[in-house]
Structure 1
Amino acid sequence: MNTLRTIMKNKDSTEVWSVGPQQSVLDAVTLMARLGIGALLVMDGEQLVGIVSERDYARKIILKGRRSETTPVSEIMTADLQTATPGMTAQHCLGMMTEGHFRHLPVIEDGKVVGVVSIGDLVKCVIADQQVVIEELERYVTGG
């Protein structure tokens, strides 16, 4: 079973992208679009205070007729976050995310953000793990 530490080491980008809570929603959405990502951590200095996603934008700005230029990220972010530690398994975190209906999981070690994993990162890892097991079983069954 792969842990988040292993997954983060193997990711193409280990950069943790964030915005401040008082930045405008427009700033956050512009950064997400430029980076091709679906969510940003909301950091007050070194302190993780929330996460803001494209879904937050769609549901809390667009559908409510608010202005992204004047609304601060703090008004639409998710502040009640679940987090993970680097030693947690992909399978465990995938279960957390499925049950909690969220797609991005901040990874915390010693009180500091060390990364973010997406549900796509975890699914890719679980599929790779299962492929290894399938290949081992095929070799066992065929005597190879």
Structure 2
Amino acid sequence: MKTVAQLLRAKQSKHVHTIAPDEMVLDSLRVMADANVGALPVVKDGTVVGVVSERDYARKLVLLGRSSIGTPVSAIMSSPVVTVDTHQTIDTCMTIMTERHLRHLPVVEDGELLGLLSIGDLVKEAIAEQADLIRQLEQYIRGE
């Protein structure tokens, strides 16, 4: 089973888009749209203090009739934030995300934000590992 470090190295985009907690929700939506991502780590003074996602926007702002122009990210972000380090396995991350009902998981090492994993990243990797195992088993059965 691969580690978070291995998965981060394999990801195409190494840049992690972030937002500050005092920025407006509308700004976070623009960043997410421009970057084609569904969530942003919320960073204050170099520390991850939360995550803001499209789900937070829909449930904590739109459904309550609040304005994205005058509402700071801190008002809708998910906090306290659950993070993992680079030594965790993909399996461990999937368990955390399943149990906590999370779709995004910041990767933090020694207080530094290194990446953001989505449930899609983990599922893609799990499928690739299973396909590789099936291929190996088929070769074994054929005596190759």
Q: Deviations over 1:31-78 (max 9, x none)?
A: 101111000010112011100000000011110000100000000001
Aligned length: 144
TM-score w.r.t. length of structure 2:
0.97
Mark the runs of 5 or more structure 2 residues left unpaired by the alignment.
Answer: none
**Percent of aligned pairs sharing the same letter:** 47
Moved beyond 3 Å, runs of 4+: none
Structure-to-structure mapping, 1:81-100, within 5 angstroms: 81-100=81-100
Task: Find the counterpart in structure 2 of residue 8 from structure 1.
Answer: 8
* Structure-to-structure mapping, 1:48-63, within 5 angstroms: 48-63=48-63
Question: Residue 121 of structure 2 corresponds to which residue in structure 1?
Answer: 121
Can you give the 5+ residue segments of structure 1 that lack an aligned partner in the other structure?
none
Matching residue of 1:31:
31
Give the aligned CA root-mean-square deviation in angstroms.
Answer: 0.8
Amino acid at match of 2:109: E
The 1-side partners of 2:135 and 2:78 are apart by 41
TM-score (norm 1): 0.97
Distance 2:139 2:15 in 1: 39
Q: Which amino acid aligns with 2:13?
A: S
Indicate conservation of the 8 Å contact 2:106/2:117, yes or no: yes
Q: 2:48–2:81: 8 Å Cα contact kept in structure 1? A: no
User: 2:102: which partner in 1?
Assistant: 102
